[in-house]
């Protein structure tokens, strides 16, 4: 079986959107869920949207991660720790782990538009503490799920990636550049994830305030060669 991109929590909105985009780009995608049946249903949804030739399958979380060269975690904060611990034994040497968690107060019964403080500093740093020896990156918090799922249009958003492993960042950059309209932006060390995660909560608030669903970020003033590729 070919090494894949495993999207853990791939039945949710962000995970499903990433599955749409990478399957459209002819990548091998494993959708993970606690329930294999739900993952298989999500994979079918991707094939219906992208085409029957899409290389996407549904698995239980640990199985999805076991053959992956890159694992993307797209679950709520309340589920993050238990799921990371669950897939940890399946991670192979050299696997890259990307955390997309946004630490909203909804995880503890609070408001979706408020952040919750974490002892580790950020959700991504919390994952890194759980996965010693595995390169952990933070990304995709500021990309709208609806934009990802709309395959007829580019996403028009930057993906700010924080992390301490240069090679892992380069690998993720290549996958980000497969998404029309996306631009990889190096956000610095993993500790900067706490800033990006809070920006994601701001975007949630803006979506609610303006009655929209696609608020995103585009950083201005960066070199022209960082501009995303044009579609068509």
In total, how many domains does the chain have? 1
In a domain, 198, yes or no: yes
Looking at residue 232, its pLDDT comes to 42
- Indicate which CATH number applies to the domain containing 50: 3.40.50.720
Note whether 25 and 19 are within 8 A (CB): no
Q: Which of 199, 198, 124, 200 is nearest to 164 (CA)?
A: 124
Note whether 115 and 104 are within 8 A (CB): yes
Q: Which of 27, 29, 33 is nearest to 10 (CA)?
A: 33
In a domain, 66, yes or no: yes
In a domain, 124, yes or no: yes
- Give me the domain span that covers residue 98: 4-226
Sign of torsion over alpha carbons 121, 190, 224, 19 = negative
Q: pLDDT tens per residue, the chain (232 residues)?
A: 457 999 999 999 999 999 999 999 999 999 999 999 999 999 999 999 999 899 999 999 999 999 899 999 999 999 999 999 999 999 998 899 999 999 988 877 888 788 888 999 999 999 999 999 999 999 999 999 999 999 999 998 999 999 999 999 999 999 999 999 999 999 999 999 999 999 999 999 999 999 999 999 999 998 877 655 554 4
Q: Which residues contact 37 (CB under 8 A, 6 or more apart)?
A: none
DSSP string, 209-222: HHT-S-------S-
Looking at residue 227, its pLDDT comes to 58
In a domain, 232, yes or no: no
In the sheet with 157-163, reading across from the earlier edge strand, the strands are 56-60, 29-33, 4-8, 68-73, 96-99, 136-138, 157-163, 182-186
Could you give the CA distance from residue 151 to residue 50 in angstroms, rounded to a whole number?
Answer: 8
Could you give the CA distance from residue 178 to residue 22 in angstroms, rounded to a whole number?
Answer: 7
Model pTM score:
0.93
Q: Which of 94, 55, 74, 81 is nearest to 15 (CA)?
A: 74
Q: Is 186 exposed, middle or buried (0-12, 13-18, 19+ CB in 10 A)?
A: middle
In a domain, 231, yes or no: no
Looking at residue 106, its pLDDT comes to 81
């Amino acid at each position: 079986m070919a090494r894949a991109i495993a999207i853990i929590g791939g039945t949710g909105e962000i995970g499903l959107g990433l599955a749409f985009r990478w399957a459209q780009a002819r990548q091998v995608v494993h959708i993970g869920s606690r329930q294999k049946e739900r993952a298989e249903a999500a994979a079918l949804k991707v094939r219906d949207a992208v085409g029957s030739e899409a290389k996407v399958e549904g698995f239980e979380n640990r199985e999805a991660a076991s053959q992956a060269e890159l694992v993307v975690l797209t679950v709520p904060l309340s589920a993050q720790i238990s799921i990371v611990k669950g897939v940890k034994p399946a991670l192979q040497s050299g696997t890259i782990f990307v955390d997309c968690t946004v630490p909203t107060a909804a995880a503890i019964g609070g408001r979706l538009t408020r952040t919750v403080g974490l002892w580790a500093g950020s959700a991504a740093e919390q994952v890194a503490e759980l996965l010693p020896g595995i390169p952990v990156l933070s990304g995709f918090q500021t990309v709208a799920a609806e934009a990802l799922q709309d395959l007829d249009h580019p996403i028009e958003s930057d993906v700010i990636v924080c992390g301490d492993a240069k090679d892992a960042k380069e690998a993720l950059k290549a996958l980000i550049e497969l998404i029309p309209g996306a631009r990889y932006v190096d956000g610095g060390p993993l500790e900067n994830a706490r800033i990006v995660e809070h920006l994601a909560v701001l975007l949630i608030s803006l979506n609610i305030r303006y009655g929209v669903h696609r608020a995103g970020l585009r950083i201005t003033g960066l070199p022209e060669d960082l501009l995303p590729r044009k579609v068509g």
